[in-house]
C-alpha cells in the first residue's frame, strides 16, 4: 500500500509521542506501507519542523529531526513533482494530491479539512490518521 502523509501528520508525530501520527511514522519505518513524497513536500516538512515555536514543543531532538528528514528522503518513494493539480480549496494542499497521483498512492493521510472534504480524488482516498492506523491494523488496503 502506498500513502502520502500530509505535513501536519509528520509534524504532529514530533509533537505527540505515542499519538496516532507517531504510530503511523513508526509503522512506515517498519515497512507497513510505502510512503510517497515529492521534493516540494519534503522541503515543506523541513521548513515547518525548523519553526522556533514548534522546536520548543517537540519531544524529538534537533539531531533526530535531521535523521528523520534523511530517512524520509532516502526511504520514501520520492516522485519528481511534475504533476500539477488544482482541486483543493487551499492551493497549498494540491502538492499532496499531485504526489499521490504521481506515485500511485491510494491514500493521503491528513487532518486538513480542505483535503478531507474532497474524500476521494481520482481514486485517491483522503483519510484521517486514526482511520489509516485501523486500515494498517486490519491489513486492508482499499
Q: Is the pLDDT of residue 141 over 70?
A: no
End-to-end CA distance of the chain: 9
CATH of residue 79's domain is 3.40.50.1010
- Reported pTM: 0.91
At 140 the pLDDT is 55
Residue 78's contacts (CB-CB under 8 Å, 6 or more residues apart) are 37, 38, 39, 42
Q: What percentage of residues in the chain have a pLDDT greater than 70?
A: 98
At 106 the pLDDT is 97
List, for residues 91-117, the tens digit of each pLDDT value: 999 999 999 999 999 999 999 999 999
Secondary structure (3-state) at 142: coil
- Per-residue pLDDT band for 142 (boundaries 50, 70, 90) equals very low
Could you tell me the residue range of the domain that residue 55 belongs to?
2-138
At 4 the pLDDT is 98
List, for residues 29-85, the tens digit of each pLDDT value: 999 999 999 999 999 999 998 888 777 778 877 888 889 999 999 999 999 988 899
52-80 exposure pattern, b = at least 16 Cβ within 10 A, e = fewer = eeeeeebebeeeebeebbeebeeebbbbe
At 59 the pLDDT is 80
Total domains, the chain? 1
Residue 130's contacts (CB-CB under 8 Å, 6 or more residues apart) are 20
At 110 the pLDDT is 97
Amino acid at each position: 500500500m502506498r500513502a502520502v502523509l500530509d505535513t501536519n501528520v509528520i509534524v504532529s508525530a514530533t509533537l505527540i509521542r505515542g499519538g496516532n501520527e507517531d504510530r503511523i511514522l513508526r509503522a512506515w519505518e517498519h515497512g507497513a506501507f510505502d510512503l510517497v513524497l515529492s521534493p516540494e513536500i519534503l522541503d515543506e516538512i523541513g521548513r515547518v519542523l525548523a519553526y522556533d515555536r514548534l522546536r520548543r514543543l517537540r519531544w524529538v531532538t534537533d539531531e533526530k529531526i535531521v535523521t528523520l528528514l534523511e530517512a524520509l528522503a532516502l526511504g520514501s518513494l520520492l516522485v519528481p513533482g511534475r504533476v500539477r493539480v488544482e482541486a483543493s480549496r487551499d492551493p497549498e494542499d494540491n502538492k499532496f494530491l499531485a504526489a499521490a497521483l504521481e506515485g500511485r498512492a491510494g491514500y493521503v493521510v491528513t487532518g486538513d479539512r480542505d483535503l478531507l472534504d474532497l474524500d476521494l480524488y481520482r481514486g485517491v482516498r483522503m483519510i484521517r490518521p486514526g482511520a489509516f492506523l485501523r486500515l494498517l491494523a486490519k491489513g486492508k488496503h482499499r
